[in-house]
Amino acid sequence: MRRALLLSAAAVMAAALGSGFVAAQAPATSSPAGAGSAAKPPRTSDGKPNLQGYWNNQAGAAPWDIEPHPASFQVPAGDGVIVDPPDHRIPYQPAALERRNELRDKYAFEDPQAHCAPSGVPRQTYTPFGFQIVQPRGSVVILYEAEHVHRVIRTDGSVHVPASVRLWSGDSVGHWEGDTLVVESTNFNGKTWLDMTGNFTTPALRVVERYTLVDADTIQYEATLEDPTIYTRPWKMAFLLRRNLQPGYYLLEFACHEGERDLQHYTDDTGRPKEDRAP
Amino acid sequence: MKSRTIRLLVLTCALAGSASLIAGQAARQTGSPAYKPPRTPDGQPDLQGIWQVRNTANWDVLPHGSAYRIPSGLGVVEGDAIPYQPWAAEKQQQNFKNRLTDDPVEKCYSAGAPRTMYLPYPVQILQTPEAVVMVSSYVHTWRWIPTIAVPRYEGYEAWMGDPRGRWDGDTLVVESIGFNGQTWLDHSGNFHSDALKLTERFTRTAPDAIGYEVTIDDAKVFTRPWKMRMPLYLRADMPRILEDECYLDAEEAGRAIRGGHPEDRGGVR
């Protein structure tokens, strides 16, 4: 499956950057969030759970396919990240499932991520790259290495921007429920996919994410997706985020050019140039 | 491209109200010397907010009349001249001639630092005790500027450079190295190399203005360090930074980005 090539290349690049730059790094600095185990979540100066620092997902093969799937060429097997419904499948309406299958089988190269578009929510959380959480007062900022995307999640009681404003990364507002950061995102442009397997989205998507520190170095991450135009019911994915404890680590610049067209020069599985464009 | 350029112009004019008025202001700082900036609860000068220039430095940092798709402006460079070495002055002229294809921003590439700060797009500044974060709506770029000690990755180079911040009284000082040498300072081809040592100073001079001072030190290109100064104005009308995706927007409109891809120049296919 050629669609795995970009991600494989990305993973190799990440590994190369890791070995190259990390090896050359100077001694460690202390993590602002105070890495290490703690009985209670560390707090920011305004008393909120301190999620700050560098995180990597433990979403396994979700970047390729968020549903359970066997290994195929360039695609590692995975049991998916969907925890509800119990069959671990996206509860598509029949026409939407047909559309997904068509995208998966014929137009995998149309994956917007492969063209360096923002991955959107929640996919940005399970790219094979790290991200950083920063907590100024009144917001939670997430800086992602992949596609150098950022999210400023307003936690000051803000309402969403007008519905006609449609965004790749959507519009996120958050609040704290106990020690859990709850983020509600709407205003999506409906162009993002959830993985490389054609699992598409629409502008009707609403995502509710929950970030809960379960120990000083682990966040339980959940995302509930609702879209009455393509799903039969809301559904949920969940996985852990682990703190990157590598001394001296910080995010590197990711210079993927939006509209990347190298993929057009690749060939399909039969060796022909890939010219198809999704309808 | 055309639509984007026009959009930039419209945006700039809308914000500026009057291009000449704004260009005049660009050379000065706003606010009175007695002004004391607010502090964050953690005790730092508070620079937080969404900010944007109202000048034409993005098109030309020097004083300039109008040219094709370049709005006129009084410039932001101290002394109204850039001390290029002779070869670099020639290179700048070449860049100017080829600006419609060679300006990295015409290809929707990252504008890098410092140009991201004076694009006709807003920049949001956010602060914690350990860092200052700047996020731009232009191709969703961000700058993470630690104000605590963080050793640099040796050999790292980036469009934005590798910034480190510190507080000097009421001023945020950001020093960056590690540039990839591919960015321009403006659309007119003013440029620097990978040897750039960039120093930026952010001082809140009024409730709705930040004095922004830039020192460009690049021994490969210039005969001496030189400075730019301009105000950044508060965008009190914006609850958040939005997205300006440039390439994706152009592609959706069916427009090719000039110089952005070999195919667009009739090259490799």
Domain ranges of chain A: 4-26+43-260
CB of B158 less than 8 A from some CB of A: yes
Taking CB atoms and an 8 Å cutoff, what residues of chain B touch A113? none
B263 within a domain of the structure (yes/no)? no
Tell me how many domains chain B contains: 1
Chain B, nearest residue to A134 by Cα: B128
CB of B133 less than 8 A from some CB of A: yes
B110: closest CA of chain A, how far (Å): 8
Residue A200: closest CA among A274, A269, A98: A98
Q: A252–B109: do the CB atoms touch at under 8 Å?
A: no
Position B259 scores a pLDDT of 57
ipTM: 0.83
**Residue B35 and residue B68 in contact, taking contact as beta carbons nearer than 8 Å:** no
Position B31 scores a pLDDT of 59
Taking CB atoms and an 8 Å cutoff, what residues of chain B touch A251? 144
What residue numbers bound the domain in which B31 lies?
2-257
The fold adopted by the segment(s) A4-26+43-260 is Lipocalin (2.40.128)
B109 within a domain of the structure (yes/no)? yes
**Residue A241 and residue A223 in contact, taking contact as beta carbons nearer than 8 Å:** no
Position A5 scores a pLDDT of 41
Three-class secondary structure of residue A109 per DSSP: helix
**Residue A269 and residue A108 in contact, taking contact as beta carbons nearer than 8 Å:** no
Residue B92: closest CA among B178, B4, B218: B218
The token pair that represents A180 in the structure block:
């859990």
> What is the length of chain A?
279
Three-class secondary structure of residue B26 per DSSP: helix
**H helix intervals, chain A:** 4-23, 94-106
**Which of A135, A139, A150 has the CB atom closest to B140's CB atom?**
A150
Determine how many CB atoms are found less than 10 A away from the CB of residue A272: 9
φ, ψ dihedrals at B37, nearest 5°: -65, 150
For residues A22 and B153, give the distance between their C-alpha atoms in angstroms, rounded to a whole number.
7
CB of B45 less than 8 A from some CB of A: no
Spatial neighbors of A279 by CB under 8 A, at least 6 apart, are none
Spatial neighbors of B260 by CB under 8 A, at least 6 apart, are A257, A259, B106, B107, B108, B247
The CATH number given to whatever domain includes residue B36 is 2.40.128.20
Three-class secondary structure of residue B247 per DSSP: helix
Position B32 scores a pLDDT of 66
**Residue B96 and residue B184 in contact, taking contact as beta carbons nearer than 8 Å:** no
For residues B197 and A161, give the distance between their C-alpha atoms in angstroms, rounded to a whole number.
39
For residues B110 and B215, give the distance between their C-alpha atoms in angstroms, rounded to a whole number.
20
CB of B124 less than 8 A from some CB of A: yes
**Residue A176 and residue A184 in contact, taking contact as beta carbons nearer than 8 Å:** no
**Which of A167, A251, A261 has the CB atom closest to B144's CB atom?**
A251
φ, ψ dihedrals at B77, nearest 5°: -90, 130
For residues B252 and B151, give the distance between their C-alpha atoms in angstroms, rounded to a whole number.
42
The pLDDT tens digits along chain B (269 residues) read 444 444 554 444 444 444 444 444 444 445 567 899 999 998 999 999 999 999 999 999 999 999 887 899 999 999 999 999 999 999 999 999 999 999 999 888 999 999 999 999 999 999 999 999 999 999 999 999 999 999 999 999 999 999 999 999 999 999 999 999 999 999 999 999 999 999 999 999 999 999 999 999 999 999 999 999 999 999 999 999 999 988 888 877 787 776 555 444 443 32
Q: What is the pTM of this model?
A: 0.83
A249: closest CA of chain B, how far (Å): 9
B64 within a domain of the structure (yes/no)? yes
H or E stretch including B94? helix B86-97
The pLDDT tens digits along chain A (279 residues) read 334 444 444 444 444 333 333 333 333 333 444 444 445 788 998 899 999 999 999 999 999 999 999 999 889 999 999 999 999 999 999 999 999 999 999 888 889 888 889 999 999 999 999 999 999 999 999 999 998 999 999 999 999 999 999 999 999 999 999 999 999 999 999 999 999 999 999 999 999 999 999 999 999 999 999 999 999 999 999 999 999 999 999 999 887 766 555 444 444 444 444 444 444
Beta strands per DSSP E along chain A: 53-57, 82-84, 131-134, 139-144, 150-154, 171-177, 180-186, 206-215, 218-226, 235-243
The token pair that represents A234 in the structure block:
């809301």
**Residue A263 and residue A256 in contact, taking contact as beta carbons nearer than 8 Å:** no
Q: A25–B155: do the CB atoms touch at under 8 Å?
A: no
Q: A29–B257: do the CB atoms touch at under 8 Å?
A: no
B266 within a domain of the structure (yes/no)? no
Burial bucket for residue B111 (CB in 10 Å: 0-12, 13-18, 19+)? buried
Position A1 scores a pLDDT of 38
pLDDT tens digits for B169-221? 999 999 999 999 999 999 999 999 999 999 999 999 999 999 999 999 999 99
Position B252 scores a pLDDT of 79
Residue corresponding to tokens 């964050």: B40
The residue type of B193 is S
Q: A21–B42: do the CB atoms touch at under 8 Å?
A: no
What does the longest C-alpha to C-alpha distance in chain A come to? 58
For residues B122 and A223, give the distance between their C-alpha atoms in angstroms, rounded to a whole number.
30
